[in-house]
A and B are shown apart, each in its own frame.
Chain A
Amino acid sequence: MSDNKLKIGRRSVLKTGALVGSALATPMFFSNIANAYTNEPKGKAVTLGFNVPQTGAYADEGADELRAFQLAVEHINGEGDGGMLNTFSSSELKGNGINGKKVEFVTGDTQTKSDAARASAKRMIEKDGAVMITGGSSSGVAIAVQGLCQEAGVIFMAGLTHSNDTTGKDRRANGFRHFFNTEMTGAALAPVLKNAFGEERRAYHLTADYTWGWSQEGSIEKYTKNFGWETVDAVRTPLGAGDFSQYITPILNSGADVLILNHYGKDMVNSLTQAVQFGLRDKQVNGKDFQIVVPLFSRLMAQGAGDAIKGIYGSTNWNWSLKDEGSKAFVKSFGSKYGFPPSQAAHTCYCQTILYADAAQRAGTFRPSELGAALEGFKFDGLGNGPMEYRASDHQCFKDVLVVQGKEKPDSKFDLLEVVEVTPRSQVEYDDKILGGELGPYNDGA
């Protein structure tokens, strides 16, 4: 064994030591201490951090988010056709960056794991000097990174995160969410389900085993209970399980006549496809046709699931087939750059970047407390969802919710979802106190 030791002689170490010593004489890494807030941009550029899943169950969403971020940065810097900046109700952004500083960005892989996501966000804050972190396609990750941003004193603009907890019991002053949540999904989807499938149904939940899955399961139960739906069983499945057949066979003998799939991304593609392959939708239980519901839907997933999604109900934050000016401008801009329409994940990330840039411009600074104050209670329009508002009490954005159904006869391979109802904002609004949690004070860091 002894011949395996590191053999560096004393003499050579002394030599290198002398070299290193002279390098030490020029310390420069402690020089940027006198900041007014964390990572105050001093030069001609400002850095934003885009933290998305590039590997794992949500990698497709992550890739699309990254495309949207790059597009948003182009538009803020005055390149490209300007996209939704032209339709946005606030016209502070002039296409010369933010507060006169050119926008640059850094990216990282969250791997859909809290640890990796926090390490990646820390790198962006500590090494690359990012003043804002955004992205994430999982609520678990979003909550973990939001907590980190609060500690570090930078703003977190949540990407695709649908769990109530993000702006509920885990809300933070430095965090803002544009995406809707399971509470809104429940309120919007339940009346449609009642009309389509009738009262007195017996539901079986398959739920992704983390904050978002639990949250969605709870919201659907809460709102369908009102008209006599009962839950036969709610089975938790691990995130990224891949094969769901072992979870699907018990459903056949459970006496349930509706299956609620609280899955997202590749998980949802797999579980839905397998449920359809097992012939669940051709069955009759309790004298009723067996139905499947996917509460959170996206066009990317619909594409992955193929024919299995036809006729399936769900809710979505945004769909590219919307006909308002904002949506049209965004689809055109995204389509001409990448050759296909954007997903809802891309849309929310684009909006978040624009909203952050606009707030920084209106506040005239990147300081989290002042920038946050500019976002609180901010009312805006023209970003594809009609009139919207960032509620001050929980930093949650409120807007109309889309209930969609998988199209029976799609016109193209992207035209997969049909909007069956636009539930008005007043119907999905709730008191923020029912979710618990408190924002606490802003943290400017430094």
Chain B
Amino acid sequence: MLLQERKDLFLMAIFSFVVLSAPILFQPIGAGYPDLLQKFAIYGIFAIGFNILFGLTGYLSFGHAAFLGIGSYAAVWSFKLFTMNVVPAIFLSVIAAGLFAALIGFVSLRRSGIYFSILTLAFAQMSYSLAYSVLTPITNGETGLQVRALLKEGQTRGLLDADIRVIDSFFGVEEFGIPITNFFGLKMSGWEGFYFCAIILIIAFFISLKIFRSDFGLMLRAIKSNQNRLNYTGINTRPYLLVAFMISGMYAGLAGSLLAVTDPLAGAERMQWTASGEVVLMTILGGAGTLIGPLIGAGIIKYLEQIFSSINNYVLFTFFDFLPVELQVLVTKLTSLFVGEGWELTLGLMFMIVVVFLPGGVVEGINRIMGLFHKRKRKEDTTTNHKAQPAE
């Protein structure tokens, strides 16, 4: 046990170091700018939370984007009504997402396997449609909820178009145009925003590590390997599942609030089923059930989305400048299928390759490569990974 703790401490130290020095580490691959690194951290938190549910219990939720969206809406409303300080916004978001998760979890967890997945998907899609149409007075529909200038005296405007920020006005905070979010005076965009997200990511990772190592985590794993046996021995598994579902939902709410903290805008498309699917992709791509895998997956997907989609024909053509002209045109045409607007094709191919050849995700890939270097490791390490496990 003591050895385990020392190892974990070491893991945390390395993890914190990598996360905090990301601006320099990711510079060579063109990802060292605040917005993308913020996204890495935020979707990392989202994926870590998702992994607590999917990785440990095997319950595949297809509706986690709903919690992300609720977190964002709650945060932006906190900016509009109370204060531009991010702390109340984050608290509100996590609580809102947790409550909502309890509600959805209570209903959905009565079923398992594919039925559970479909139920969560249905709930998420319902939330999306509501946010898009019926709840427009709260969500501002497709345009998205935004922070506005303060309501001036004599103006008659709805809360969607003018804010009140009672706490800020109480303390007499002066505003110039449309304010930006702050952490007790420190602005939350750009690099400051990234470091804020990074520190929260480290805390979130630490909590996840503790859950993985705890008895509670062990119970969740037991549910994954054989829930029936647990039931026969007289253990009621549903409370454990509900708590795991809620924690996972709160992580998503936290990620949603951070999206709003770094960029105070909340749109309904954050709740769409594609967003729910994305976090499933992240987790599986990186390695479900591993601590670090979902983070790696989130990084890969956000990187592809931002950097690959920005490579246009012009850039490619210049890149292949060393080739003869005819070949240059041909190669540009061929490669342009996989970058620019075709970035999703690359993602699809990558996902296929990972699922077929590396069922344990990128983490398994890294382990195999490490295994090649450390031949003293026993062979069964890499072979046992191939055993397919049922989802329940």
Contact = CB atoms under 8 A, between A and B. Distances in A.
Contact of B35 (A109, A119, A440): A119
Contact of A4 (B21, B24, B32, B289): B289
A7 B384 CA distance: 14
A228 B296 CA distance: 62
B366 interface: yes
Contacts of B290: 4-6
A114 B267 contact: yes
A436 B360 CA distance: 56
B226 to A, nearest CB: 13
Chain B interface, DSSP helix/strand/loop, else mixed: helix
A127 B269 contact: no
Contacts of A109: 309, 340-341
B33 A123 contact: yes
Contacts of A116: 305
A114 B385 contact: no
Interface string A11-33: 01100010010011001010000
Nearest to B23: A29
Contacts of B293: 6
A9 B34 contact: no
Given A123-B306, A126-B35, A8 B366 contact: yes
Interface string B124-150: 000000001100000001111010010
Interface string B23-67: 111010010111110010000000000000000000000000000
Interface centre among B17, B269, B290, B381 (most CB of A within 10 A): B269
A115 B262 CA distance: 12
B341 A113 contact: no
B192 interface: no
Nearest to B217: A1
Contact of A211 (B142, B157, B314): B142
Contact of A10 (B10, B33, B141, B367): B10
B334 interface: no
A4 B27 contact: no
Given A4-B360, A12-B370, A127 B33 contact: yes
A6 B367 contact: yes
Interface string B186-222: 0001100000000000000000000000000000010
Contact of A123 (B14, B35, B146, B221): B35
B109 interface: no
Nearest to B7: A10
B363 interface: yes
Contact of B287 (A4, A123, A127): A4
Interface residues of B, number: 65
B180 A151 contact: yes
A54 interface: yes
29 contacts: A3-B381, A4-B363, A6-B287, A7-B367, A7-B371, A12-B373, A17-B14, A23-B24, A27-B24, A29-B27, A29-B32, A107-B340, A109-B341, A113-B269, A115-B259, A119-B35, A120-B309, A120-B310, A127-B33, A144-B265, A147-B265, A150-B177, A150-B178, A151-B178, A165-B143, A209-B142, A238-B132, A438-B149, A440-B149
Per CB-CB distance, the 3 closest pairs between chain A and chain B, nearest first, are A210-B142, A122-B35, A54-B341
Given A3-B381, A54-B341, A140-B142, 16 more contacts: A6-B291, A6-B292, A6-B367, A8-B366, A8-B370, A12-B373, A17-B14, A24-B21, A113-B267, A119-B305, A123-B33, A150-B177, A210-B142, A211-B143, A436-B161, A441-B177
Interface of B: 10, 14, 17, 21, 23-25, 27, 30, 32-36, 39, 132-133, 141-144, 146, 149, 157, 161, 176-178, 180, 189-190, 221, 259, 263, 265, 267, 269-270, 287, 289-293, 305-306, 309-310, 312, 314, 340-341, 360, 363-364, 366-367, 370-371, 373-374, 377, 381, 384-385
Interface of A: 1, 3-10, 12-13, 17, 20, 23-24, 27, 29, 54-55, 66, 70, 105-109, 113-116, 118-120, 122-123, 126-127, 139-140, 143-144, 147-148, 150-151, 165, 169, 209-211, 236, 238-239, 436, 438, 440-441, 443
